[in-house]
Chain A
Amino acid sequence: MTVTVDRASAARAALASVRDPELDQPITSLGFVASCVVSADGQAQVRLRLPTYFCAPNFAYLMVADAYDAVSAVPGVRCAEVVLEDHFAADAINDGVAAQAGFIGSFGGEAIAELDELRAAFLRKAVMAGTDQVCRPLLAGGPAPAALRSMRLGDVPPSAALDRLRRRRADLGLPAGDDSPLLVDPETGAAVSAEAVPLHLRRARVTRAGIEANTSICTGMLKQRYPSTREAT
């Protein structure tokens, strides 16, 4: 019994490493994991649910596929089944992930590429949003925006937001070490030029506002759809 409970908590912990690529938040804190159980003989069953019946199928696929990979890697899990519920493309996604068919294999003629570029595009947005999270407190402390240009990541006081920004940059292969510039182009990793700093910071701010607004709508919609959901804030 204890082993089963431990495996279930390990599986849930693994699911916390899976993020909604658009919202850049763990699917566990967003309330997308409806249930997660592991049987005595190591069969994991995960049910996922999303804020609407029509949430974008490409992002939905990524979350189901990532959840499958994360849970399958948990020690003691012999096989995993991850099922997306109440979604217009649930059958294609669930069958495709179960068969490890990839996105193209799951959606036949409707897709022409896997989702690596889509994922990278949203990681770049996460880097921009994270840049605002890290820079806003610095600016509130006094320095002019231009002063941020000469700062390195190692100059920034430690924070959860900074750790997260470093991880997102590293995921993209962008410089993330102490001596890396604080402000970089999320496409190239190049340091932002002095004249581009104000616009860069404004784009960072609007990107964060966009993601936050989306998250607030998505969590609100999930609560409307599944009223027992604990609201994430």
Chain B
Amino acid sequence: MYTKDGEKYFIVDSHMHYWNAAPDNWVPGAEQYAKGWIECFHAYQGLGPPHTHWPIEKFQKYSEDDLMRDVFTDGYVDVAVFQPTYLKEWYSEGFNTTERNAALGEKHPGMFVANTRFDPRDGDAGLEELRRNVERYGSRGVKLYTAEWNNGSRGYKLSDPAAYRFLAAAQELGIKNIHVHKGPTIWPLDKDAFDVADVDHAATDFPELNFIVEHVGLPRIEDFCFMATQEPNVYAGLSVVIGGLMYARPKFFAKVMGELLFWVGEDKMTFGSDYGIWEPKWQVEGFVDWDYPSDEFSDYPRVNTATKKKILGLNAARLYNIKVPDECQLPATAGTPGAQDDAHLVPGS
């Protein structure tokens, strides 16, 4: 929980990681990709305030103690949602797996939500793995990285028939929240890999599922925004937006926030630190203090305390049915987070 000026903010970090990207986990022959991936992430960290930068050695493999301190003790987070990314073609034990996350989560009951993932190209074995993970870890959300390399394939679309098969199975297993992360590769390579049209299709055809588009579709914010206005079950995951822009590029951060508030709305935007890329502490503090920097932004929707409480935690708490203390709830006049009429939420625990 974060308290500022007498206001109490319940913080859900809806997009964070516990990875091992150290050389001991690099797949022989794929070292350049494993190294390239983590160096790219490390450069992203450089867009945050200098005092929050880590040396590459720590960044490759931070400890359990680092995570618990950075996220919970110092970072104000009440509940954190693990978002796994496997990348097993590059990392022997996976970059950030359901198992690795859950092993940490099991030591700290109530502090984590253990999402899992699937890859539609894994066929029946992948379906079975999804079923096992949901049963074992109680996952109610999945993280999908559509640019993952898999056995010669460089990626997939959410609208592929194989992906629909997995989405249907996930829904049957009780999954509610689909976190989508686009990357630079896909088949065929001549198409725009970041295009979100496939999310649009899937969101239309699976109205019972919520689609949280991580990084708000960056670098296709405009396509994402337009899609989100048409699909009631599409949400904006703010990971990278706050971490990558708020400190480094405040003017463009203001523009992007203004656009998101206009097109998507404050009930459907969720904070994610993207830890270990960025620590949540400065993001939470900065966002609570944030407002548009000048009159140049006067035609964008206003932000107030309720807006920030929804984005920092109440919206995600609603999506994951996380209990919020009364002192952090909004007054009845502030509306209901999580887009009340449209969201299909995790059932009562």
Contact B47–A224 (Cβ < 8 Å):
yes
Identify the closest chain B residue to A199 (Cβ).
B226
Contact A217–B37 (Cβ < 8 Å):
no
| The one of A88, A113, A114, A212 that contacts B36, using a Cβ cutoff of 8 Å | A88
* Cα of A58 to Cα of B190 in the assembled complex, Å: 6
| The one of B190, B193, B244, B256 that contacts A115, using a Cβ cutoff of 8 Å | B190
Contact with B along A210-233 (1 / 0, CB 8 A): 101110110011001100000000
Does chain B have a CB within 8 A of A207? yes
Does chain A have a CB within 8 A of B219? yes
Given known pairs A212-B255, A220-B249, the reply for A111 and B190 (CB within 8 Å) is: yes
| The one of B33, B44, B219, B226 that contacts A214, using a Cβ cutoff of 8 Å | B219
Instruction: Kindly provide the distance from the CB of A222 to the nearest chain B CB, expressed in whole angstroms.
Output: 9
Contact B189–A54 (Cβ < 8 Å):
no
Does chain B have a CB within 8 A of A146? no
Identify the closest chain B residue to A104 (Cβ).
B190
- Find chain A residues with CB under 8 A from B187 CB: 110
Contact B183–A213 (Cβ < 8 Å):
no
- Find chain A residues with CB under 8 A from B245 CB: 213, 216-217
| The one of A22, A205, A213 that contacts B249, using a Cβ cutoff of 8 Å | A213
Query: SS class of chain A's interface: helix, strand, loop or mixed?
Result: helix
* Interface residue tally for chain A (C-beta within 8 Å): 40
Contact A217–B47 (Cβ < 8 Å):
yes
Does chain B have a CB within 8 A of A101? no
Given known pairs A22-B219, A209-B255, A217-B218, the reply for A55 and B190 (CB within 8 Å) is: no
Does chain A have a CB within 8 A of B221? yes
Does chain B have a CB within 8 A of A125? yes
| The one of B46, B226, B255 that contacts A213, using a Cβ cutoff of 8 Å | B255
- Find chain B residues with CB under 8 A from A114 CB: 190
Does chain B have a CB within 8 A of A170? no
Does chain A have a CB within 8 A of B129? no
Contact A112–B255 (Cβ < 8 Å):
no
| The one of A111, A112, A220 that contacts B47, using a Cβ cutoff of 8 Å | A220
Find the residue from A53, A107, A118, A207 having the highest chain B CB count within 10 A. Answer: A53
Does chain A have a CB within 8 A of B263? yes
Identify the closest chain B residue to A53 (Cβ).
B36
Instruction: Kindly provide the distance from the CB of A223 to the nearest chain B CB, expressed in whole angstroms.
Output: 8
* Interface residue tally for chain B (C-beta within 8 Å): 40
Contact with A along B219-238 (1 / 0, CB 8 A): 11110011000000000000
* Cα of A53 to Cα of B189 in the assembled complex, Å: 16
- Find chain A residues with CB under 8 A from B123 CB: none
Does chain A have a CB within 8 A of B192? yes
Does chain B have a CB within 8 A of A19? no
Instruction: Kindly provide the distance from the CB of A217 to the nearest chain B CB, expressed in whole angstroms.
Output: 6
Instruction: Kindly provide the distance from the CB of A46 to the nearest chain B CB, expressed in whole angstroms.
Output: 22
Contact B37–A54 (Cβ < 8 Å):
yes
Does chain B have a CB within 8 A of A149? no
Contact B32–A88 (Cβ < 8 Å):
yes
* Cα of A118 to Cα of B43 in the assembled complex, Å: 28
Does chain A have a CB within 8 A of B248? yes
- Find chain A residues with CB under 8 A from B262 CB: 202, 206
* Cα of A202 to Cα of B190 in the assembled complex, Å: 29
Does chain A have a CB within 8 A of B335? no
Does chain A have a CB within 8 A of B70? no
* Cα of A56 to Cα of B219 in the assembled complex, Å: 11
Does chain A have a CB within 8 A of B39? yes
Contact A53–B37 (Cβ < 8 Å):
yes
- Find chain A residues with CB under 8 A from B259 CB: 205-206, 209-210
- Find chain B residues with CB under 8 A from A104 CB: 190
Does chain A have a CB within 8 A of B286? no
Contact A210–B221 (Cβ < 8 Å):
yes
- Find chain B residues with CB under 8 A from A110 CB: 154, 187-189
Instruction: Kindly provide the distance from the CB of A117 to the nearest chain B CB, expressed in whole angstroms.
Output: 8
- Find chain A residues with CB under 8 A from B188 CB: 110-113
11 pairs from A and B in contact (CB 8 Å cutoff): A53-B37, A58-B189, A110-B154, A111-B190, A118-B192, A209-B259, A213-B245, A217-B249, A220-B244, A221-B43, A224-B47
Given A52-B43, A53-B39, A213-B245, 15 further pairs, Cβ under 8 A:
A56-B185, A104-B190, A111-B190, A118-B191, A121-B192, A206-B222, A206-B226, A207-B222, A213-B218, A217-B218, A220-B248, A220-B249, A221-B46, A221-B47, A224-B44
Instruction: Give the top 9 A-B pairs by smallest Cβ distance, nearest first.
Output: A53-B36, A210-B221, A224-B46, A224-B43, A56-B184, A216-B249, A214-B219, A210-B222, A209-B255
